[in-house]
């Protein structure tokens, strides 16, 4: 949660670079693969050799369109520009990227809590190579003894998704990245692996007094996990507030997150920013997907996480945020089918989100029907919570499909209510002093009564039901 | 090598002439005179002899090597040839050998053509005299005290000196047509997208086209037919099938409407203008209807071109940074290495254009320069379209003057004016060809330019052929 002083608010916008899972690179037929021997997936085009020319990868365009559709964007005719700057990881010393006419504009993404975050654009561009700086100071090119460049990544297709500055806390930002990652994976466009750099996040952070116009923002780079993102935003917002409260001002600049010291450090200010001299890429023609193609892409998309949450929430009669975990774990269909098969919705959600999620590898052993039967045994008081968990564990372990049979084999014959009442009455009769206290309102003895009943029933009694019987006996006393 | 490419190919295909003899003759002509002319940066004698032997074997075995069987072809040294140095006449590409071959060269070889060498050019094709080569200028074979024009001066000179009946050049603002005019040969720039640029080292990508040099219009059409057509490796390559130019070459100009472009006759030497008027009369005599037409925005061509071309060049030439290939001048850190390498590797004209282009694209100046130049380009296209409502082809001088002396145009702006008549076709993306027609007061050849609408190469070649017959 946010730890800002009263009256302050943070404003966050995120830029997420997503590597597309195409077979080949954006402008050539080199393999798009992570972790291969350096400089083996290269050719004249992705090495930017003199005379080579780019040819756009149709699959990359289709993935970009899938992302656009999933983010409710308008998909438009678009063009590529050249972004010019010198750096050794860019073979041409310009990056081919979409600039003021991107393929996807004006969309939105819905967080599990229902909040909508605006998407400004989601455009295509090529990735750069990867540099490793050896010796010298701090892994930066300046001061290094020498640098190694791997161009396997050069020309890998990216979609950069730029949010609107709609987030107000680090939790929002983390939820946004998690949700976006789930959407990207659902579209098939990305493997969502932040640890392999498939997903890279830059954060634009500013602070303001609630109600004031936006403050000056800083862009934070080098955020390699959702956790770093949260920490970096918290640190950066505090840094900016401290400056402003001291009467200083925030300088617009790019800052580098250092995981080790937990701080952001200035990289370059606005004055030092590159002039990228964008101009339309003359070696490529405009990308203008036909209406039919756009329609086909839209129709081929599977349901997105927000749709799945809404659907299950409606079937279960709960809030969408209550089923977020199930959707994340891909358990929503099982639960929905179980509910359709007559399962108690809340029990089904709880058991799936806890027990099944904890043993997700074995979920294939659970059918909607067997799961429905199990949760209903719990709902009907035929099994206690503890027993239900044990039966479910046995089902996941492959010991059987029929929860009733497993329960029987384990001796979990549920006590019927009248038998349990008899045991409760026995325990009351055996403890008259304690019963006096209980009737007089002393809650401390409740545990003793429940414990005694459990002992007499060998743990088969449902604690909740015992409490109900005790309460009814007291009101009758 | 006084035979035309068409004659050589016909004789080699029929077995009347051996490719080996053709190549030997070409190589001995080069040997005798290229020391003086310096058309070539590199002569590929062994490779050419081996290729000729292979052609002869195929003919002996009953194969048809293709329409360029045994024809020596010279390549401008900005066309990539696998394993063979490709320099752009620049020090910055020192030691670099491309790992691949340009599409046009693949097509020439597949048609039986034999690459005899790589020809000199103004560094990175920037210039109109071949004086900007890092390896020294090329001399005009017709008068060695004069320039051959540029930037494809080496290719023009190679054909004019009969080193090879065919050559390829590249034309960004006139770099095929202007040297063709100054050397008295035929030089043609195709419609943008008609010929693949894959393997052509870029100067200004939206303007560059590869095209043929030859001694006759028929040979020009022959080579155009071989190199044109869709290439999946070039996204700007036209995907529709293109009409070949050779079959209709001799259809004549009877009934064609031809316009002399008024704006391109202004500021031209009177002796050159006189030849253009004489060409118009010849076309009239051949049955065409010739009138004067106006392409008003053409006068802004030079201004627009010298923003667009340098802007694209500043980006295209960024990759020569010393990191991966070519020249590297070591320094203390990478920024200094970039600076030292590029300072040592590029000549003054290339540096001038990189600076011009960088400025034109800079934040705050883009709209006033690059943006405005693109709008002028749109106007030029519109004015050409209006002209082609009235006429089928256009006529103008190719160059305002005949070949000039070395050092005569040391002022860059004076040099830039050499391309005033050729630049509009590049900006419009239209085809144009320079045909030798008469001589100037100095006795040197004059080139007349025939222009046509996009993809109208067959019609344009018919007009060029009619001029050639009347010349």
Q: Does A224 touch chain B (CB under 8 A)?
A: no
At residue A270, does pLDDT exceed 80?
no
| Rounded mean pLDDT, A431-436 | 90
- Statement: residue B297 has pLDDT above 70: yes
Q: Are A269 and A251 spatial neighbours (Cβ–Cβ below 8 Å)?
A: yes
Beta carbons of B396 and B295 less than 8 angstroms apart: no
How close is the nearest chain B Cα to the Cα of A270, in Å? 13
Please state the pTM of the whole predicted model: 0.90
Report whether pLDDT(B79) > 70.
Answer: yes
Taking the C-alpha atoms of residue A272 and residue A251, their distance in angstroms, rounded to an integer, is 12
Chain A to chain B Cβ contacts (< 8 Å): 101
The confidence band for A138, taking pLDDT boundaries of 50, 70 and 90, is low
User: Which residues, including other chains, have CB under 8 Å from residue B286's CB and lie 6 or more apart?
Assistant: B252, B253, B254, B466, B469, B470
Q: Residue A334 — very low, low, confident or very high, per pLDDT cuts 50/70/90? A: very high
Long-range contacts of A221-225 (CB under 8 A, 24+ apart): A221/A254, A221/A255, A221/A256, A221/A257, A221/A267, A222/A256, A222/A257, A222/A258, A222/A259, A223/A257, A224/A194, A224/A195, A224/A200, A224/A259, A225/A194, A225/A195
- A24 — pLDDT class (breaks 50, 70, 90): very high
* pLDDT level of residue A463 (50, 70, 90 thresholds): confident
Predicted pLDDT at A6: 87
Q: Backbone dihedral region of A88: left (phi > 0), alpha (psi from -120 to 50 degrees) or beta?
A: alpha
Position A208 scores a pLDDT of 96
Percent of chain B past pLDDT 70, that is, above it, reads: 100
Task: Give yes or no for residue B2 having a pLDDT over 80.
Answer: no
Task: Tell me how far apart the alpha carbons of residues B2 and B164 are, in angstroms, rounded to a whole number.
Answer: 9
Region A56-64: what's the mean pLDDT? 98
pLDDT at A135: 81
Cα(B379)–Cα(B263) distance, rounded to whole angstroms?
15
Give the model confidence (pLDDT) of A197-254 as tens digits: 899 999 999 999 988 999 999 999 989 899 999 999 999 999 999 999 999 999 999 9
d(CA A458, CA A441): 28
Any B CB within 8 A of A275 CB: yes
Catalytic residue among B6, B76, B118, B425: B76
Per the CB < 8 Å rule, is A51 touching B206?
no
Q: Which has the minimum average pLDDT: A256-265, B16-25, B311-320, B449-458?
A: A256-265
**If you measure CA to CA, which chain A residue comes closest to B193?**
A283
- Please determine, for residue B122, whether its predicted confidence score (pLDDT) is greater than 60: yes
A277 touches chain B (CB under 8 A): yes
**Confidence grade of residue A418 (pLDDT, cut at 50, 70, 90):** confident
**Residue B434 among the catalytic residues:** no
Cis upstream peptide for B151 (omega within 30°): yes
Contact B279, B448 (CB under 8 A): yes
Give the angle A169-A172-A176 at the CA atoms, nearest 5°: 145
Contacts of A86 in chain B (CB under 8 A): 318, 321, 338
Average pLDDT, chain A: 92
Buried b (16+ CB within 10 A) or exposed e, B457-468: bbbbbbbbbbbb
A141 close contact with B: CB closer than 8 A: yes
Q: Pairing between strand B289-293 and B209-214? A: unpaired
Q: Tell how far CA A33 is from the center of its chain.
A: 24
Per-residue pLDDT at B425:
98
CA dist., res. B231 & res. B238, Å (int) = 8
Q: How much is the mean pLDDT over chain B?
A: 97
Report which of residues A185 and A421 the model is more confident about. Answer: A185
Rounded CA-CA distance B13/A177 in Å is 68
- B51 vs chain A: nearest CA distance in angstroms? 24
The confidence band for A141, taking pLDDT boundaries of 50, 70 and 90, is confident
Label residue A414 by pLDDT band (50, 70, 90): low
Q: Which of A49, A142, A283 sits opposite B205 (nearest CB)?
A: A283
A79–chain B Cβ distance below 8 A for any pair: no
**Long-range Cβ contacts of A93-96 (<8 Å, 24+ apart):** A93/A48, A93/B318, A93/B319, A93/B321, A94/B315, A94/B318, A95/A125, A95/A126, A95/A128, A96/A26, A96/A27, A96/A54, A96/A125, A96/A126, A96/A281, A96/A284
pLDDT digits (tens, 9 = 90+) for B350-382: 999 999 999 999 999 999 999 999 999 999 999
Which residues of chain B does A82 touch, with a Cβ-Cβ cutoff of 8 Å? 315
Give me the catalytic one of B6, B18, B133, B151.
Answer: B151
A222 phi-psi bin (left φ>0, alpha ψ -120 to 50, beta other): left
C-alpha–C-alpha distance, residues A417 and A432, integer Å: 23
Q: What whole-number percentage of chain A has pLDDT above 90?
A: 73
Alpha-carbon gap, residue B68 to B372, rounded angstroms: 44
| Closest-CA residue of chain A to B318 | A93
Strands B289-293 and B393-397 come out as unpaired
**Partners of residue B89 in chain A, C-beta under 8 Å:** none
CB A80 within 8 A of CB A282: no
- Give mean pLDDT, residues B220-241: 98
Interface test with A, best of B315, B345, B360 (most A CBs within 10 A): B315
For residue A1, pLDDT over 60 is answered with: no
Would you say A176 and A119 are in contact if contact means Cβ atoms under 8 Å apart?
Answer: no
Q: Is A278 exposed, middle or buried (0-12, 13-18, 19+ CB in 10 A)?
A: middle
Question: How distant is the Cα of A46 from the closest Cα of chain B, in angstroms?
Answer: 12
Mean pLDDT of A415-423: 79
Report the C-alpha gap between B20 and B7 in whole angstroms.
Answer: 15
Question: Which tens digit of pLDDT belongs to each residue from B152-181?
Answer: 999 999 999 999 999 999 999 999 999 999
Rounded to the nearest angstrom, the minimum Cα separation between B69 and chain A is 27
User: Shortest CA distance to B447 belongs to which of B392, B387, B403, B393?
Assistant: B403
Say if residues B468 and B226 touch (Cβ distance below 8 Å): no
B254 or A426, which is more confident = B254
């Amino acid at each position: 949660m946010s730890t800002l002083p009263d009256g302050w608010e943070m404003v966050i916008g995120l830029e997420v670079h997503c590597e597309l899972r195409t077979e080949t690179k954006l402008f050539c037929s080199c393999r798009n693969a992570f972790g291969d021997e350096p400089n083996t997936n290269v050719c004249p085009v992705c090495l930017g050799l003199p005379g080579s020319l780019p040819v756009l990868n149709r699959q990359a365009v289709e993935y970009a369109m899938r992302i656009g559709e999933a983010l409710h964007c308008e998909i438009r005719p678009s063009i590529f520009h050249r972004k010019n700057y010198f750096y050794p990881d860019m073979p041409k010393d310009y990056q081919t990227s979409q600039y003021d006419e991107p393929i996807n504009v004006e969309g939105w993404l819905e967080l599990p809590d229902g909040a909508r975050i605006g998407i400004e654009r989601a455009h295509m561009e090529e990735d750069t190579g990867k540099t490793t700086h050896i010796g010298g100071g701090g892994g930066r090119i300046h001061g290094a003894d020498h640098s190694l460049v791997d161009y396997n990544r050069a020309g890998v297709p990216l979609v950069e998704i730029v949010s609107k500055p709609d987030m107000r806390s680090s939790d929002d930002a983390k939820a946004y990245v998690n949700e976006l990652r789930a959407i990207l994976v659902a579209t098939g466009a990305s493997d969502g692996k932040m640890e392999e750099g498939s997903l890279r996040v830059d954060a634009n952070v500013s602070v303001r007094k609630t109600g004031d116009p936006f403050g000056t923002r800083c862009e934070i780079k080098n955020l390699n996990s959702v956790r770093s993102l949260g920490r970096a935003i918290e640190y950066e917002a505090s840094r900016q507030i401290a400056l402003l409260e001291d009467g200083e001002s925030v300088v617009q600049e790019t800052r580098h997150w250092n995981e080790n010291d937990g701080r952001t450090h200035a990289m370059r200010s606005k004055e030092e920013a590159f002039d990228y001299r964008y101009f339309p890429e003359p070696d490529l023609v405009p990308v203008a997907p036909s209406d039919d193609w756009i329609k086909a892409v839209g129709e081929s998309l599977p349901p997105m996480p927000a749709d799945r949450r809404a659907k299950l929430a409606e079937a279960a009669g709960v809030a969408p945020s209550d089923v977020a975990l199930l959707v994340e774990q891909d358990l929503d269909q099982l639960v929905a089918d179980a509910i359709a098969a007559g399962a108690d919705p809340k029990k089904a959600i709880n058991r799936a989100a806890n027990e099944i999620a904890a043993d997700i590898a074995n979920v294939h052993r659970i059918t909607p029907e067997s799961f429905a039967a199990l949760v209903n045994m719990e709902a009907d008081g035929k099994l206690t919570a503890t027993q239900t968990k044990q039966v479910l564990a046995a089902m996941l372990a492959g010991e059987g499909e029929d929860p009733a049979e497993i329960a029987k084999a384990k001796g979990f014959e549920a006590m019927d209510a009248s038998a349990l009442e008899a045991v409760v009455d026995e325990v009351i009769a055996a403890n008259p002093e304690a019963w006096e206290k209980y009737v007089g309102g002393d809650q401390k003895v409740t545990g003793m009564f429940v414990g005694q009943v459990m002992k007499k029933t060998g743990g088969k009694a449902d604690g909740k039901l015992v409490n109900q019987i005790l309460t009814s006996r007291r009101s009758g006393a | 090598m006084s035979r035309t490419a068409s004659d050589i190919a016909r004789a080699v295909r029929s077995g009347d002439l051996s490719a080996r003899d053709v190549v030997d003759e070409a190589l001995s002509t080069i040997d005798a005179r290229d020391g003086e002319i310096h058309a070539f940066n590199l002569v590929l004698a062994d490779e050419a002899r081996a290729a000729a032997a292979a052609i002869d074997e195929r003919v002996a075995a009953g194969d048809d090597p293709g329409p360029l069987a045994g024809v020596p072809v010279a390549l401008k040294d900005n066309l990539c040839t696998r394993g063979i140095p490709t320099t752009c006449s620049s020090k910055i590409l020192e030691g670099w050998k491309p790992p691949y071959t340009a599409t046009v060269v693949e097509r020439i070889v597949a048609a039986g053509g034999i690459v005899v060498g790589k020809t000199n050019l103004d560094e990175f094709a920037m210039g109109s005299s071949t004086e900007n080569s890092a390896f020294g200028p090329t001399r005009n074979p017709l008068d060695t005290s004069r320039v051959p024009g540029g930037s494809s001066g080496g290719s023009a000179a190679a054909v004019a000196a009969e080193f090879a009946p065919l050559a390829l050049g590249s034309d960004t603002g006139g770099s095929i047509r202007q040297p063709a005019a100054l050397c008295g040969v035929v030089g043609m720039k195709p419609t943008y997208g008609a010929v693949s640029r894959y393997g052509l080292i870029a100067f200004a990508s939206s303007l560059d086209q590869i095209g043929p040099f030859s001694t006759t219009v028929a040979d020009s059409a022959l080579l155009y037919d071989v190199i044109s057509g869709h290439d999946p490796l070039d996204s700007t390559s036209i995907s529709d099938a293109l009409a070949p130019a050779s079959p209709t070459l001799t259809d004549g100009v009877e009934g064609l409407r031809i316009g002399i472009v008024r704006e391109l006759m202004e500021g031209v030497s009177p002796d050159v203008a006189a030849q253009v008027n004489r060409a118009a009369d010849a076309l009239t005599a051949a049955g065409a209807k010739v009138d004067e037409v106006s392409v008003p925005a053409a006068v802004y061509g030079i201004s627009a071109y010298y923003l667009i071309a340098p802007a694209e060049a500043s980006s295209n030439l960024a990759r020569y940074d010393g990191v991966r290939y070519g020249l590297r001048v070591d320094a203390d850190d990478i920024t200094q290495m970039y600076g030292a390498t590029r300072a040592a590797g590029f000549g003054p004209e290339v540096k001038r254009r990189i600076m011009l282009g960088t400025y034109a694209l800079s934040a705050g100046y883009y709209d006033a320069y690059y943006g405005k130049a693109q709008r002028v380009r749109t106007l030029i296209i519109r004015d050409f379209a209006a002209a082609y409502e009235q006429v089928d082809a256009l006529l103008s001088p190719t160059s305002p003057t005949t070949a000039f002396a070395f050092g005569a145009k040391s002022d860059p702006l004076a040099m830039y004016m050499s391309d005033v008549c050729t630049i509009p076709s590049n900006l419009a993306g239209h085809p144009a060809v320079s045909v030798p027609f008469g001589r100037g007061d100095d006795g040197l050849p004059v080139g007349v330019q025939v222009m046509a609408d996009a993809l109208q190469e067959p019609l344009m070649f018919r007009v060029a052929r009619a001029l050639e017959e009347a010349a």
